[in-house]
Structure 1
Amino acid sequence: MKKVKRTTIYDIAAKLGITASSVSRALNNSSQVNEKTRELIIKTADELNYKRNTLASNLRKGHSKTIGVVVPRINQNFFSNVIAGIEETTYQKGYNLIICQSGEVHDKEIQCVNTLINQHVDCIVISVSADSYDYQHLQNVIDHGIQLIQFDRVAEELETLKVINDNEQASFEAVSHMIDNGYKRIALLEGPQNLNIFRQRKNGYLRALAHHKVAVIDELIVENAWTKELGAEATRKLLNLPQPPDAIFASTSDFSALGVLEVANAMSIKVPSELGICGYSNEAFTQITSPSITTIDQFSVYMGNTIGNLFFQEVANSDVAVKPKIISIKPELIIRGSTAKKA
């Protein structure tokens, strides 16, 4: 759905041949504007479907100073670090956070968003749930004049501010690293393909195989293996194939990679000499497993700082219709013991 360009006070001013400041004063019920002019401006604003930017108005009045954050799971290192990064930046300017958890449930996510709208927050920051299939509730945020910033998992069709990772390139580098270290049959544990991040990570995996002229083997690509339990289940099936993989890229999460490692240990399969493992997100436990798990650091605290700074940067331009920014952060491959060179 193509988003219609937002009408601004400058559009109203141009239509009436008056200054934008006069329009602003009229819409704010200033006594400096006579009643006849004010009525004309309001009528024209309605005709042009002008939606007042309550973000800018509230900030000027010192109203709310609250930002709502909706994440799938608070107890995951990535999301908790993003929240910490947002708080670190916004606290310095006197803002508070309201944190909500969707639990990967679409209906709960809608409830969280509606609650934040009713709380009159100045901004909603969200990473959508795996269960999401419709984004009308996010359009509702925009329609209420509340700033919307999406991060990591985003509804690509909505033209909002976005802070994302270069997931495809990170996956390309991870799989290329495993190929360079001698692994030939690399399996992919993929997440729900309705989410942008998992589509991008799969694209990176496929691009790396093509770049290194390694054949794509369909039976080595497992759908929706994105939790520790599902990762373990997928690994048992993969390792019992007539021609099992010699490496597994758990592109969904480090929790999935942990499931892979536990199954490999239970089956007495040596990591990394018989099976290479790479996860995603750089959860704290990946440093202390045996062997430590190769993973991808998404710079989550920095992502949170970026979200906070982006909010304040946009406040200054809140009455100007500009194309929403998309900021992409390049993750880093962290090479550890689970992908050492094959003998």
Structure 2
Amino acid sequence: MKTPKRTTIYDIAKKLNLNASSVSRALNNSGNVSEVTKKLILKTAKELNYKQNSLASNLRKGHNQTIGVIVPRVNQNFFANVIAGLEEVTYQKGYNLIICQSNESHAREVKCVNTLINQHVSCIIISVSADFEDDTHLRNIQENGIQLIQFDRVDDNLETFKVLNDNKQASEDAVTHLIAQGYQRIALLEGPQNLNIFKERKEGYLSALRKHNYPILPELMKENAWTKELSAAATKKLLNMAHPPDAIFASTSDFSALGVLEVATNMGIKVPAELGICGYSNEAFTEITSPSITTVDQYSVSMGKTIANLYFQEIKSDNKDAIPKIVSIKPKLIIRSSTLRNKDEQRI
């Protein structure tokens, strides 16, 4: 089926025997066109189903009311909620979002950035991929005069506006809770240490152990256990140790915690009596597993709104000397059955 030809201002001008410039001025309400002619042009544009090219129009005006967003995965609750929070604010401001997914690939992330630059977006908001290599593509955004906001996973070496969670404190709270429940050997499932969020969560884990005079045991810390499959493999190794852990903090995500729970269930290990499990991110499924999973709520919708407001209130303001700043959001520990060995502690 042949695609119908798009109506242009030249089609309207030809039908009305006018100059294209007169049609353009009328459609953009820029004056120098009589009211009678303007009404005729608008009526004809409607009859011909004319749709204005917003990108071209914005380029002529020197701005584009479109913001690009790049996330590792759109199907994760955290990133989906951040996007929802962003959209709620940007929609009210008359802005559109272009959403890209890196699939945890640095090469794909670079392609997403280049695509958005070519779309002449006014701002790019990004949480970098797990195999982040260098920031050349991020610097390219700035060199093209496009605003850049980083969130959650960021490049610490690049000075931009950033919106972050207090990952260290959240992890410290989670491990402190496990200690309060009487767990003695607490294992850690780590994410890639090239990413700020996983470094900070490990710091929080170590800080809680030190504050309570627990020994730091390298054999209880498993690197790069940041997917369900990798965490399951790490959990099998941990639980088959001569002296296995009695609690596992899946600091990478709730999907990792789910991998832990499945392995424990298959091995006949009782949760939380014999093994406490804590995840991170408050994915929707954590409430309906058996037992329900203790996790950390990152206030992701709020984070999205904060990012959008940062753009409209700080970056897009008339203050050209605005200094890039870091906004920190404190997550909340959500205590559920998977760690409640001591029933006297109230659930949150």
Normalising by structure 2, report the TM-score.
0.80
Matched, 1:341 2:341: yes
Name the residue aligned to 2:131: 131
1:59, 1:244 → 2: CA distance? Answer: 62
CA distance in 2, matches of 1:315, 1:178: 41
Code of the residue aligned with 2:303 in structure 1: it is M
CA contact (8 A) 1:165 1:331 kept: yes
Q: Establish whether residue 264 from structure 1 lines up as the match of residue 255 from structure 2.
A: no
**Code of the aligned partner of 2:191:** G
Q: Which residue is equivalent to 2:251?
A: 251
* Superposition pairs of residues 222-261 of structure 1, within 5 angstroms: 222-261=222-261
Q: CA deviation at 1:342?
A: 5.2
Q: Tell me how far apart the structure 2 counterparts of residues 265 and 185 of structure 1 sit (CA, whole Å).
A: 19
Is the partner of 1:216 in helix, strand or coil? coil
Verify the 8 A CA contact 1:296 1:333 in the aligned structure 2.
Answer: yes
Partner of 2:23 in structure 1? none
Q: Does 1:289 align with 2:306?
A: no
SS at match of 1:321: coil
Structure-2 separation of matches of 1:173 and 1:217: 19
Please tell me whether the aligned partners of residues 105 and 132 of structure 1 are also in contact (alpha carbons under 8 angstroms).
Answer: yes
In 1, Cα distance between equivalents of 2:144 and 2:171:
37
Query: Partner of 2:85 in structure 1?
Result: 85
Residue in 1 that maps onto 2:15: none
Aligned 8 A contact 1:272 1:342 in 2: no
Distance 2:236 2:296 in 1: 24
Please say if residues 68 and 124 of structure 2, whose CA atoms lie closer than 8 Å, have aligned partners that are also in contact. yes
1:154 to 1:59, Cα distance in 2 relative to 1, 3 A: farther
Amino acid at match of 1:108: R
C-alpha RMSD over aligned residues: 1.5
Judge conservation of contact 2:315–2:322 (CA < 8 Å) in 1: no
- Partners of 1:327 and 1:116 lie apart in 2 by 25
Q: Which has the larger radius of gyration?
A: 2
| 2:107 paired residue number | 107
Rounded to whole Å, the distance in 2 between the matches of 1:180 and 1:238 is: 22
- Inter-partner Cα distance in structure 2 for 1:122 and 1:93: 13
Q: Which residue of 1 aligns with 2:210?
A: 210
Q: Shift in Å at residue 62 of structure 1?
A: 7.0
Deviation at 1:64, TM superposition (A): 1.9
In structure 1, distance between residues paired with 2:59 and 2:249: 46
Match of 1:279 in 2: 279
**Distance (Å, rounded) in 1 between the aligned partners of 2:318 and 2:160:** 13
Counterpart amino acid of 1:297?
D
- Note if contact 2:314-2:322 (Cα within 8 Å) is conserved in structure 1: no
Deviation at 1:133, TM superposition (A): 1.3
Q: CA deviation at 1:87?
A: 0.4
> Could you tell me whether the CA contact under 8 Å between 1:273 and 1:342 is conserved in 2?
no
Partners of 2:290 and 2:62 lie apart in 1 by: 52
Count of aligned pairs: 286
Which whole-Å deviations, capped at 9, do the CAs of 1:255-293 have from their partners, x for residues lacking one?
000000000000000000000000000000000000000
String of CA shifts for 1:4-39, please: whole Å, max 9, x gaps. xxxxxxxxxxxxxxxxxxxxxxxxxxxxxxxxxxxx
- Within 5 Å, which residues of 2 pair with 1:1-343? 61=61, 63-317=63-317, 320-341=320-341
- SS state at 1:323 partner: coil
| AA in 1 matched with 2:286 | T
Q: TM-score, normalised by structure 1?
A: 0.81
Secondary structure of the residue aligned to 2:216 is coil
Residue 247 of structure 1, CA deviation? 0.1
Q: For the residues of structure 1 that align with 2:337 and 2:210, how far apart are their CA atoms? A: 26
Between 1:62-71 and 1:283-292, the stretch displaced more is 62-71
Please give the alpha-carbon distance, in whole angstroms, between the structure 1 residues aligned to 2:164 and 2:122: 21
Where 1:281 maps in the other structure, the secondary structure is coil
In the alignment, which residue of structure 2 is the partner of 1:16?
A: none
**How far, CA to CA, are the matches of 1:222 and 1:141 in structure 2?**
36
Question: 1:155 and 1:280 mapped to 2: Cα distance?
Answer: 21
Any stretches of 5+ residues in structure 1 without a counterpart? 1-57
Letter in 2 for 1:326: I
Specify which structure has the bigger relative contact order, considering alpha-carbon pairs within 8 angstroms and separated by 6 or more residues: 1
- Kindly provide the amino acid, as one letter, of the partner of residue 174 in structure 2: A
Give deviations 1:292-330, integer Å, cap 9, x for gaps: 000000000000000111110124445522320110000
Distance between the aligned counterparts of 1:122 and 1:318, measured in 2? 15
Counterpart Cα distance in 2 of 1:218 and 1:59: 56
